[in-house]
Amino acid sequence: MSTAFESQSKHQRSTGVAEAPLTIQPVILAGGAGTRLWPLSRDQYPKQLIELLGEESLLAGTARRLEGLETLWPVTDDLLLVCGEHHRHVSAEQLRGCGKSAHILLEPHARNTAPALTSAALQAVANGNDAVLVVMPADHVVPDAAAFQAAVARAANYAADGAVVAIGIVPRHAEPGYGYVRVGTPLGEHGGYVIDRFVEKPHRELAEQYVASGEYWWNSGIFVVRASVWLSAIKTLHPAIYAACEAAYRNGSADDTFVRLEGKDFKNCPDESIDYGVMERLSECNLSGVVVPMDAAWSDVGSWDAVWEMLPKDALGNVGRGRVMFEGSTNSFAHSQGRLIACVGLDNVVVVETADAVLVADKQNAQQIKTVVSRIRAERGHEADHHRKVHRPWGYYDSIDSGDRFQVKRIVVKPGESLSLQMHHHRAEHWVVVRGTAEVTCGEKTFLLSENESTYIPLGTVHRLRNPGKTQLEIIEVQSGAYLGEDDIVRFEDNYGRMPS
């Protein structure tokens, strides 16, 4: 296998222009909602943030996926992550937790993968680095990291010479839930093939024909392309996307971690995917499309049957996570976040328990869960959007109980963090410290509370809660009033950029 430096030398010989050595820039796209993995995955806490298969989240696993590639290609120190505003702090915390630094681009509106990649490419070239972008969805699983890196290295050789490369998976079975790539003519030493065409999610009979033919591979959604090549392609094929992303990037703001795209400019951006928007139209901008095979047990874990397939099973084909018992059951999956799940006499069933919702489904019908989520939204149920436990940049809160004119929350604040300086128009609050030390601002007074001490925040009083200690602060909050919604918060100061613009 040739290295980055050999590919660079080839490029210099063909152009006569000396360039800095090419580097690989990891790009993670984290805009998916993962509705087919409800009730574990919610809009405000989607599947890439969940420890779905092990002790680390899918996002953390994706961030570490290129570790070791430096032996074949130089890799930039910082990741580029594209995600929504709601997920920025949890995403940043998870990346720090796995030892990764990143520039996090914040999309003010969901606009699909082509605008997301365009924004990342603009950031890459703004850093003075026309890098080879390795574009990875945040919510996939690739158990064989060595096979993944070998495929990426082969793809990068084609991308260095100006091709747009897709990573294809030789299918293990007919899967109507995946897109497919039809493979064309083989392309020499790096094991790639010309892309004949893309096909989106065929019906089962057609998927079976594709697999039997040997001419179609699964489209993994992983792409490898130079930043300048992608920007040239999007500018030619979708000038409106390029113009909106460029304006949103140019008029945005940045700090050490977050790059905020300007909302009004980005709102004008058309909604388009990488596949439909560019990969299927490469001939229109005189670019070559290449597909490189990967054999790494890849999965997009897009449904509960896919999760079951990826995990170790007992002798009867069952997978249990959390407090689960199987009795006379086969080929089933059960996931408990707290309560005991007892599965008796079941076959091919999925059971997922969370604090506020329980899913029971035939594993073969797991794709239909999206319909359930749509119905919940239509009925304005909160279970589609957020869990009972809600993560915040300062920690989290868990809504333990609620009723007419009252709500009880367990609030956990990380060491050194604080809630915003705020007030409420419609509720008063009682706070009881059960662990740690709290610094409380209530009106003009600031004071400390220790364990088993409490205080009262009258309606309309400006207040703040801070953890000045080195261990977690835990309080029980009892709210009372005519309206207890989360939108009854008026912020005066905030450490996390949540003030109204």
For 421, the enclosing helix (H) or strand (E) is strand 421-423
Which pLDDT tens digit goes with each residue over 189-206? 788 999 998 888 888 889
What are the start-end ranges of the E strands in 118-266?
132-137, 164-169, 180-186, 193-199, 216-226, 253-254, 258-260
pTM for this predicted structure: 0.89
Q: Which of 229, 230, 226, 216 is nearest to 293 (CA)?
A: 216
Question: What distance in Å separates the CA atoms of residue 452 and residue 59, rounded to the nearest whole number?
Answer: 38
Please write the tens of the pLDDT for every residue from 224-237. 999 999 999 999 99
Which tokens hold the place of 244?
A: 């909106």
Question: Which strands, in side-by-side order, build the sheet including 358-362?
Answer: 319-321, 333-336, 349-353, 358-362
Which residues, 6+ apart, have CB-to-CB distance to 61 below 8 Å? 141, 142
List, in sequence order, every residue forming a beta bridge with 392; answer none if it has no partner.
Answer: 395
H/E element holding 84?
A: strand 78-84
Which pLDDT does position 17 carry in this prediction?
Answer: 37
Asked if the 389-493 domain carries CATH number 3.40.50.2300, the reply is no
Mean pLDDT across 78-97: 93
- The arithmetic mean of pLDDT across residues 334-350, rounded, is 97
Structural contact between residues 173 and 299, judged by C-beta atoms closer than 8 angstroms: no
Distance, CA of 87 to CA of 48 (rounded, Å): 10
Q: Which of 332, 340, 338 is nearest to 313 (CA)?
A: 332
134: which strand partners?
26, 224
For the beta carbon of residue 165, count every other beta carbon within 10 angstroms: 29
Judged by DSSP in three states, 301 sits in coil
- The single-letter code of the amino acid at 42 is R
Query: How does residue 3 score in pLDDT terms, banded at 50, 70 and 90?
Result: very low
pLDDT band at 7 (very low <50, low <70, confident <90, very high): very low
Q: Are 408 and 432 in contact (CB under 8 A)?
A: no
Cβ-Cβ contacts under 8 Å for 109 (sequence gap 6 or more): 263, 266, 267, 269
Residue 414's SS3 state is: coil
Q: How far is CA 458 from the centre of its chain?
A: 39
Grade residue 2 by pLDDT with cuts at 50, 70 and 90.
very low
Quick: pLDDT tens for 438-481: 999 999 999 999 999 999 999 999 999 999 999 999 999 999 99
* Other Cβ atoms within 10 Å of 437 Cβ, number: 17
- Report the percent of the chain where pLDDT is more than 90: 77
Band of pLDDT at residue 21, cut at 50, 70 and 90? low
Residue 495 identity (one-letter amino acid): N
Task: Give the separation between CA 24 and CA 73, rounded to whole angstroms.
Answer: 7
Q: What is the pLDDT of residues 264-317, one digit of tens each?
A: 999 999 999 998 889 888 989 889 999 999 988 899 998 999 999 999 999 999
Query: What are the strands, taking DSSP E only, across 38-162?
Result: 78-84, 101-107, 132-137
Structure tokens at 491: 């912020």
Q: Say which CATH topology domain 21-294 has.
A: Spore Coat Polysaccharide Biosynthesis Protein SpsA; Chain A (3.90.550)
Q: Locate the domains of the chain by residue range.
A: 21-294, 304-376, 389-493
Write down the residue that tokens 């397939």 correspond to. 309
Which two structure tokens, joined as six digits, stand for 443? 């009106």
Does residue 255 sit in helix, strand or coil?
Answer: coil
Asked if residue 418 lies in contact with residue 498, where contact means CB atoms within 8 angstroms, the answer is no
Secondary structure E strands in 201-322: 216-226, 253-254, 258-260, 289-294, 319-321
Mean pLDDT, to the nearest integer, of 353-371? 92
State residue 459 phi and psi, 5-degree precision. -55, 135
Q: Which token pair is 202? A: 């065929």
Secondary structure class of 383 (helix, strand, coil):
helix
Q: What is the pLDDT confidence band of residue 366, given thresholds at 50, 70 and 90?
A: confident
Query: Do the beta carbons of residue 272 and residue 238 sit within 8 Å?
Result: yes
Question: 501 is written with which tokens?
Answer: 């613009």
Residue 20 binned pLDDT confidence (cut-offs 50, 70, 90): low
Is the pLDDT score of 415 beyond 70?
yes
